[in-house]
Structure 1
Amino acid sequence: MAGRKILVIDDSKVIRVRVREMLPPGNFDVLEAKDGKEGLELVHQEYPNLIMLDFLLPKLSGWDVFQQIQAHSELRKIPLVLMSGRKEEVTEKIPEPFEYFEFIEKPFEKKQLIEAIKSAFTKANKTREPLPSAASKAAPAQAETPTTSADAAKIKALEQRMAKMQAEMNAS
């Protein structure tokens, strides 16, 4: 099993495969989700080291997935690259500059993808408060639970894997 997990949430199989093919060769486990609901479930189950999230998705929109991730203090530490062919739909909901995640406009080339991933890791390390809109719209079922020692160990391992992945991305 690969050491680092990249979750690609996109309803287009072409985009999911393209992202997988563009990643530098290495010890990556690329997980795929075809809709927002499946993607959010994988985020909670797998705690990936990086999330590539399409903004327009069936079942649960990328905007809804984004808000739920941002409402959870541990999940929002995961580097995030938001993808869309229509940037104006993103900026309607999230004003620029994008401080804590990276945005990449479809279609994109390998160099753009690698730069977006590197930037997402840098932005994810910034200290921040929850987004008011995300916190206020989170359903009670999505409320944060106290961090257990098992969660803390998972978080520490995730942070170590993120640092290692960041170093590999910087080397490419």
Structure 2
Amino acid sequence: MVAHKILVIDDSKVIRMRVKDMLPDGNFEVIEAKNGLEGFNLINTEQPNLIMLDFLLPKMSGWEVYQEIQKRPDLKVIPLVLMSGRKEEVTEKLTEPFELFSFIEKPFDQKQLIDAIKDAMAKARKHPKVVSAPSADAAAEPSGGGVASADVQALQKRVESLENEIETLKKQMGQLVSFIKQKLK
């Protein structure tokens, strides 16, 4: 079973094959898309662990794919590497320093690719998983399910953990107050 999926969205077959060949051997599958629309559909169906996105694409530009990713909390947490042969086209729309993704300028070598992937993964870890308020549709669903349900469960566990910490601190504070009272007598 494949542990990780890497989605490479680029209209150049040469770039898609080059990325695939440059990746070190590992327990992952490389999925390819030749345009932005196909790529965005694969993001939704394949749930990749890493997205490598060309900025200039047919049917749906890399910029449009990026904007759609940013609208969805479940997609924003996926490490993203933007690729372009013309960095100025990226910086026209997104100012540096790039905080939500890594950027790699074409052409690139294997070390640059690996460094960009590592950088994208580090940046993705820095950003908290965003929990959105349940929509009216989600509230109407009897069993919840999906991302919202998982987020609610994670929050409930966190609240429970914090409540336990508070109880522990209260006990320690009580012991400290008792100790101080004894010393004052």
Normalised by the size of structure 2, how large is the TM-score? Answer: 0.71
Q: Is the 8 A contact 1:85 1:107 kept in 2?
A: yes
Secondary structure at the counterpart of residue 111 of structure 1: helix
Answer whether contact 1:86 1:105 (CA < 8 A) is retained. Answer: yes
User: 1:151 maps to what in 2?
Assistant: 147
CA-atom RMSD, angstroms? 2.4
What is the deviation of 1:126? 2.0
Asked whether the 8 Å contact 1:36–1:61 carries over to 2, the reply is yes
- Give, in angstroms, the shift of residue 28 of structure 1: 1.0
User: 2-side partners of 1:106 and 1:67: how far apart?
Assistant: 22
2:82 is aligned to 82
Figure out how many residues of one structure are paired with residues of the other and give that number: 142
The higher relative CO (CA closer than 8 Å, separation ≥ 6) is in 1
Give identity over the alignment, percent. 63
Partner of 1:30: 30
1:67-146 to 2 correspondences below 5 Å: 67-127=67-127, 146=138
Instruction: Give the Cα–Cα distance (whole angstroms) in 1 for the partners of residues 108 and 149 of structure 2.
Output: 36
Deviations 1:55-80 (A, max 9, x none): 00000000000000011011010000
Which consecutive residues of structure 2, in runs of 5 or more, have no partner in the other structure? 152-185
Asked if 1 retains the 8 angstrom alpha-carbon contact of 2:77 and 2:127, the reply is no
User: What is the rounded CA distance, in whole Å, between the counterparts of 1:88 and 1:7 in structure 2?
Assistant: 24
SS at match of 2:73: coil
- CA, structure 1 residues 120+77, in 2 after alignment: closer, same or farther (shift >3 Å)? same
Letter matched to residue 62 of structure 1:
G
Secondary structure of the corresponding residue to residue 103 of structure 1: strand
- CA shift for structure 1 position 149: 3.5
Which range moved further: 1-10 or 114-123?
A: 1-10
Give 1:125 deviation, angstroms: 1.4
Distance 1:150 1:71, change over 3 A: closer
| Amino acid paired to 2:6 | I
Output the CA distance in 2 between the equivalents of 1:103 and 1:123.
11
Look at both structures and tell me which one has the larger radius of gyration over its CA atoms: 2
Alignment of 1:59 onto 2:68: no
Q: Tell me the secondary structure at the aligned position of residue 44 of structure 1.
A: helix
Q: Partner amino acid for 1:151?
A: V
Q: 1:153 to 1:23 in 2, by over 3 A?
A: farther
Alignment check: 8 A CA contact 2:77 2:129 kept: no
Q: Is the 8 A contact 1:100 1:126 kept in 2?
A: no
Give 3-state SS (helix, strand or coil) of 1:78's partner: coil
CA 1:153–1:85 in structure 2 vs 1: closer, same or farther (change >3 Å)?
A: farther
Superposed displacement of residue 95, structure 1: 0.3
> What TM-score comes out, normalization by structure 1 length?
0.76
Shift of 1:146: 4.8
Aligned-pair CA distance for 1:24:
0.8
Quote the offset at 1:151 in angstroms. Answer: 3.4
Q: Which structure carries more helix by proportion?
A: 2
